Structure 1
Amino acid sequence: MRIGIVLPGHAIDPAYQKAQVYRQLIQLLTVANEVYLFLTSPLTTLPGLDSRHVEIIDASSRLAGGMRWWNVSRRILNSIPQHTPLDVLHAIGADLNGVVAIRAGQKYHLPVVVSVREDELVGYPDIGYGMQRSAIGRQVVRYALTRATIVVVSSAYMRQLASQHLSPSQLAHLREIPLGVDTEHFIPPQPGLSTRHREYVHVGALTPVKDQTTLLDLMASLPLVTLDIIGDGPLRSQLEARADALGLSGRVRFHGWVGYERLPAFYQSARFLLVTSRHEAFCLPAVEALACGTGVIGTAVGVLPEVGLTVPTGDVEALQTTIVRRPRKHGHVQRAQYRLLAEHVYSLSHMRDGMLSAYAAAIQRQRGQISS
């Protein structure tokens, strides 16, 4: 299969930690397929993909605003004929990436798969997050979702949000494909070394949508409990000051950004991952934790309701109750179950197979539309 993927450069940029999953997916797709990456924004670091099976076409533009996207779209439309015949286009994002892919699909009669990636289906004006905050954002998302041949979401939570934008007939072409975790990199600790000396760990960017303010308030309500925070972002100094003000400086440790190679050690040494986000399209740290045999407690967003103990967003009291009442017996059995769940449902190979199935369904649907 010849697959064209339209995506922002940071989605595969090694400097962007979330990009690991898309690089791994692309690498798996290249085993038996030809992959062409049409970048709508530039890379800062080369992604380290096998150049024998992946071609990167930089269609990014230095222009601003709408002119930038017009230029990006023109470049992609002009470059696709050089790489034909493509079998399918895949847009990473039900945003302007999706719009560009759909325009290309319409011009060259190609099926288009659109993956909802992050903030397209929500809007929080108080923190300046989400495409649903503006009429233009809502219009872009609706165009991408309703014109796609197949729409892909990564969790049941996102399926529910996406269904609000689709007609009953369009819902038949909505696929739920979880993101995958490298289960050879994220593994439980070696037998005999499983001390789990960290009680709780939190992994994520320090940004408003992650709501680490609620996380710190939770810690203040739980005496003697410790937390290790892995991640960096614009709110770090503010959160450190709040931790000091709450008297948490001895119990909450800020580690900053931690590289991919070092992440498993933090999960392996923790009993639970804590997540207090107001929104997650998926929450990759949750399945990374599972693969390491670590439990998950958090808010009912993304994949969390499917893999852990969850409560409504912003509810410190409910989180406190969940932590206090969490099961404490048969911990080794639970950790083995977490690992099995990661292996059988959230592996990279499962993600690859799901995407290939979505591509095949899109091609079949396109052929049916043409013949009719």
Structure 2
Amino acid sequence: MKLAMVVPGGVDRSGQRRVIPALLALIERLARVHDLHVFVLRQEAAPGSWSLAGATIHNIGDGWTRLRALQTIRAEHRRAPFDLVHAFFSGSCGLLAMAMAKWLRLPATVHIAGGELVALHDIGYGGRRRWAGRLREALVLRAADAVTAASAPIIESLRALGVQAQRVPLGVDLQQWPPIAPRGRNGAQARLIHVASLNRVKDQPTLLRALALLMQAGVNFHMDMVGVDTLGGDMQRLAGELGLQGHVRFLGFKTQRELRPLMAAADLLVMSSQHEAGPLVLLEAAVMGVPAVGTAVGHFAEWSPRAACAVPVGDWRGLAEAIKYVLDRDELRLHLACEAQRRAIAEDADYTAGVFEALYRQLVAAGEAGGLRAVR
């Protein structure tokens, strides 16, 4: 098949920075057997194209982006017709993909991969904060011939909107992340890790306040915080105000290769997000034999209590108590790690690609038979 995938970003020509690892793993697997063209709205400011993971990347760039994206997709369709359009994320790229699919009379699917369905007004996040966003999401979801999402909570959110969707977790590339068996703690100091951009939706203030409570309780720990700082040093200043200088290390961005040894050395992954569709880092930790404690979003919500420990969003006291509870019970920590690893390996990147390929075949066959709506 010839496939058109529309994405907002995450496919930098370096293959290392400004990328979405799960998206690259999917692209690589699809490109092995299909002619895959990825249309990215704003990876770079200037238009351009390059090869990545076996696919052709078409960067639209700044200036009349949507119009030029439509023209670029149509031109490639004229060279050789596409069989299907896949929007990775809804929002602007989902609307563009659905419009293009209708224009070219092609089947189309959209994967909800971020905050498209939420409205977090206090931090200015989510696709449903304004009427225009709600209208856009409604158009995308109704126009799509199939809708997918990574975790059960997102599937439930879609069902509440009257949209039937298929759960397709974005799995880990086990070639890049070879599994390591869960192991007992080695040493008196607990090694914690947090992997996420420093931004409002990841809610690092909740995490840091939880760590401050652990420190006050006499817990011996060290936390590595990995991720791009988008908050201008606010979290480093908060850590200082809370007296965490000797307990927390801010490491900034790390490539996947740089992240692996840090993850392997950890006893526990800790996340504090207000919203997640996944997150992928929970799956990466799981394949490395590292269990997780976090807020009840995405995979944390669907895995708790057997494969992860989840607490309410924003509850730093509950987060601190959960971290201490798991650290004090190594048998429980290992049980969580084993069950999490089993799930992450069962739904790895190969599994993800296989599910999407089966969906593509179903959509194309239904389109040829004139029955696309039957697959929803």
The TM-score by the shorter chain falls in which range?
0.7 to 0.9
1:218 corresponds to 2:214: no
Partner of 1:181: 172
Q: Residue type matched to 1:344 in 2?
A: A
Aligned-pair distance for 1:77?
Answer: 2.9
Partner of 2:158: 162
Q: Is contact 2:267–2:291 with CA below 8 Å preserved after alignment? A: yes
Q: Is contact 1:206–1:236 with CA below 8 Å preserved after alignment? A: no
Partner of 2:66: 69
5 Å-filtered alignment, 1:251-330, equals: 251-305=247-301, 306=303, 307-326=307-326, 327-329=329-331
* Cα distance in 1, alignment partners of residues 325 and 337 from structure 2: 18
The one-character-per-residue Cα deviations of 1:182-227 (angstroms, maximum 9, x if unpaired) are 2233245589998476521100000011000000000011123321
The one-character-per-residue Cα deviations of 1:127-146 (angstroms, maximum 9, x if unpaired) are 11111111111111111111
Q: Residue type matched to 2:39 in 1?
A: F
The one-character-per-residue Cα deviations of 1:73-120 (angstroms, maximum 9, x if unpaired) are 233234322221x22111112112112221221122210011112121
5 Å-filtered alignment, 1:35-54, equals: 35-43=36-44, 49-51=52-54, 54=55
Change (3 A) 1:42 1:244: closer
Q: Residue type matched to 1:318 in 2?
A: G
Partner of 1:209: 201
Aligned-pair distance for 1:295?
Answer: 0.4
1:95 corresponds to 2:91: yes
Question: Which deviates further from its counterpart, 143-152 or 189-198?
Answer: 189-198
* Cα distance in 2, alignment partners of residues 371 and 126 from structure 1: 39
Partner of 1:91: helix, strand, or coil? strand
* Cα distance in 1, alignment partners of residues 300 and 226 from structure 2: 18
Change (3 A) 1:308 1:102: same
Question: Which deviates further from its counterpart, 299-308 or 335-344?
Answer: 335-344
Partner of 1:239: helix, strand, or coil? helix
Question: Which deviates further from its counterpart, 7-16 or 75-84?
Answer: 7-16
The one-character-per-residue Cα deviations of 1:137-185 (angstroms, maximum 9, x if unpaired) are 111111111110000101001111122223xxx51xx111001112233
Q: Residue type matched to 1:309 in 2?
A: C
Aligned-pair distance for 1:333?
Answer: 5.5
Question: Which deviates further from its counterpart, 182-191 or 291-300?
Answer: 182-191
The one-character-per-residue Cα deviations of 1:9-65 (angstroms, maximum 9, x if unpaired) are 4345535455222122111112222212223224489876255xx33334x1432xx
RMSD, aligned CA: 2.6
Partner of 1:233: helix, strand, or coil? coil
Q: Is contact 1:185–1:264 with CA below 8 Å preserved after alignment? A: no
Aligned-pair distance for 1:316?
Answer: 1.4
Q: Residue type matched to 1:49 in 2?
A: L
Change (3 A) 1:365 1:245: same
Aligned-pair distance for 1:232?
Answer: 2.0
Q: Is contact 2:91–2:137 with CA below 8 Å preserved after alignment? A: yes
* Cα distance in 1, alignment partners of residues 372 and 259 from structure 2: 50
Question: Which deviates further from its counterpart, 74-83 or 24-33?
Answer: 74-83
* Cα distance in 1, alignment partners of residues 120 and 365 from structure 2: 38
Q: Is contact 1:92–1:98 with CA below 8 Å preserved after alignment? A: yes
1:342 corresponds to 2:313: no
Number of residue equivalences: 359
Q: Is contact 1:292–1:339 with CA below 8 Å preserved after alignment? A: yes
Q: What is the TM-score with the length of structure 1 in the denominator?
A: 0.88
Q: Is contact 2:308–2:340 with CA below 8 Å preserved after alignment? A: no
Partner of 1:205: helix, strand, or coil? coil
* Cα distance in 2, alignment partners of residues 94 and 293 from structure 1: 32
* Cα distance in 2, alignment partners of residues 282 and 296 from structure 1: 13
* Cα distance in 1, alignment partners of residues 50 and 311 from structure 2: 37
Partner of 1:222: helix, strand, or coil? helix
Q: What is the TM-score with the length of structure 2 in the denominator?
A: 0.87
